[in-house]
Chains A and B, each alone.
Chain A
């Protein structure tokens, strides 16, 4: 089963409390309404969460192996109400696991690559 996460404003607010990141684009709907986003956006760490759970699940481990690298590009915002899933685009010992975090409209929110210290992620 592919890990997914459904984002809510309550989740964003809770992540703000954990990370100390009370950037108003995340937690202040009035402020966010005046930005190009038009509404609040999730912290980038929230929509990327399923990639951690996918790799850990595949490896059968609770935490990523030491030396794991992750390169990410944030392509579009993730809003409350969005559900994010992982789509694996490629996987191999040399290039690592290329993935996208995709919302319920099929739009890529994040794209990136996970590289384990000893090679591919799968």
Chain B
């Protein structure tokens, strides 16, 4: 069942929709480095900055926040301290805006990831087109 707080009509702007945590492993960092062409010897214990983009996405999909077929149109991202192997990273997801343009509906999602010291690892804020058939 769809969480009403994640729908276009029901989104309570600014309210936390979900929160999740992951423990980042060196194995995950190695896999990401291999995929994106990084020299993994430079990333022993620390994740490439771009890997941080995946943390909020993972939460949003696992918590079924993003509707099937959603299309991302723009980002405003901020990168903080590096994520490190062994970090327990906490990510929160908030819907910050909704609007319609040319008959299309848009939602803006903001995902903040922090490390165990409470330092910001990244803020990923993206706007997406909500598919016509989605709630």
Task: Report A's interface with B, CB cutoff 8 A.
Answer: 5, 11, 14-15, 18-25, 35, 43-45, 48-49, 52-53, 56, 62-64, 66-74, 112
Contact = CB atoms under 8 A, between A and B. Distances in A.
A52 B69 CA distance: 27
B48 A52 contact: yes
Interface in B54-73: 54, 57-59, 61-62, 66, 68-73
Given A18-B54, A64-B79, A73 B66 contact: no
Contacts of A15: 35, 54
Given A20-B61, A62-B42, 4 more contacts: A15-B35, A45-B53, A52-B48, A52-B50
Q: Would you list the 5 A-B pairs with minimal beta carbon distance, nearest first?
A: A20-B58, A19-B54, A72-B75, A19-B57, A20-B61
Contacts of B28: 18
Instruction: State the majority secondary structure of interface residues on B.
Output: mixed
Interface in B21-75: 28, 31-32, 35-38, 42-43, 46-51, 53-54, 57-59, 61-62, 66, 68-75
B: contact size bracket: 35 or more
Contact of A63 (B32, B36, B46): B46
B80 interface: yes
A100 B73 CA distance: 15
B14 to A, nearest CB: 21
Contact of B43 (A62, A68, A71, A112): A62
A44 B126 CA distance: 11
B77 interface: yes
10 contacts: A15-B35, A18-B54, A18-B58, A21-B61, A43-B57, A44-B75, A49-B50, A68-B49, A69-B77, A70-B75
B49 A73 contact: no
A56 B42 CA distance: 12
A44 B80 contact: no
